[in-house]
Amino acid sequence: MSEENINAEGEELNQTPQPGEGESSEAAEAATPPEPAEANGESEAEQPIDPLSEAMNTITSLEDQLARSNADNYNLRQEYNGFVRRSKQDGANRYEEGIAHVIESLLAVLDDIALARQHGDLEGPAGQIAEKLEQTLKVNFNVDRFGAEGDEFDPQVHEALMHQTSPDVTIEKVNVLIQPGYKVGEKLLRAARVGVISPA
C-alpha cells in the first residue's frame, strides 16, 4: 500500500464521528430552554378592547356620578327649605315679640283708661280718643282686656291678691277686680289681679 493511500485512510478515520459525540450534541440542544414568551402585559395590550364592554363601563360610571349629584342636590334643597322655614318662623316670632313689647309699654295707659271709665271720668273728646286707641289695638293687634267680677277663678290667667270665704258661693270665683289682664291673641301679657272668694 502506498503512502498516499495510508494518509487518505487516516483522514477518513479522523473524520468518522466517535460514539457519543452526536448524541451529546442533540441532548444539549434538547436541554436548551425555549426562548421566553413575550411579557403578559405586551400580549394583553395587543388584545383588542371590546367597545361594548368599554361603553357599559362608561355608562355605569356616569350613572353613579348622576346619582351622587342628585343626592347632593336633594340635600341642598332640604337644607335651603329648612332655612326658609326657620327664617319665616323666626320672623313671625320677632314680629309677635315686637307687638307684645309695645303693648306692654302701653299697659299703664290702658289701666288709666279703664280706671277713668269706672269712675265716669272718660267723657268728651278724651273718651273718644281712648276708645279709638283701644279699638285700634284690638282690631290690628288682637289685644284683649279680660277680667270681671263673677268670673270663675283660673290661676292660669288670674293673680289672686286677696282671698275670703263665704257659704253663699259654690265655686271659687272673682269677687273684686283690682286690675284687668291683657292678652295678644293667645299670648298672656299680664294676668288679671283679683280678689277671690271661695266656698266656706
Instruction: Say whether pLDDT at 162 is over 90.
Output: yes
- Coil, helix or strand for 48? coil
Instruction: Say whether pLDDT at 121 is over 90.
Output: no
Element housing 134 (H / E) = helix 124-141
Q: Please report, for residues 96, 153, 158, the alpha-carbon distance to residue 185 in angstroms, rounded to integers and kept in the order given.
A: 10, 20, 17
pTM, to two decimals: 0.56
- Coil, helix or strand for 184? strand
Instruction: Say whether pLDDT at 129 is over 80.
Output: yes
pLDDT of residue 87: 85
Distance CA 142, CA 134 (A): 10
Short-list 88, 98, 112, CA closest to 141: 98
For 182, the grid coordinates are: 291683657
Distance CA 1, CA 22 (A): 33
Short-list 143, 141, 159, CA closest to 151: 159
Instruction: Say whether pLDDT at 21 is over 70.
Output: no
Which pLDDT tens digit goes with each residue over 41-81?
455 555 667 888 888 888 888 889 999 999 989 998 999 88
Which pLDDT tens digit goes with each residue over 169-190?
999 999 999 999 999 988 899 9
Distance CA 65, CA 43 (A): 33
pLDDT of residue 34: 53
State the CB neighbour count (10 A cutoff) for residue 175: 19
Cα 155 from chain centroid (whole Å): 40
For residue 150, what are the contacts with CB-CB under 8 A and spacing of at least 6?
173, 174, 175
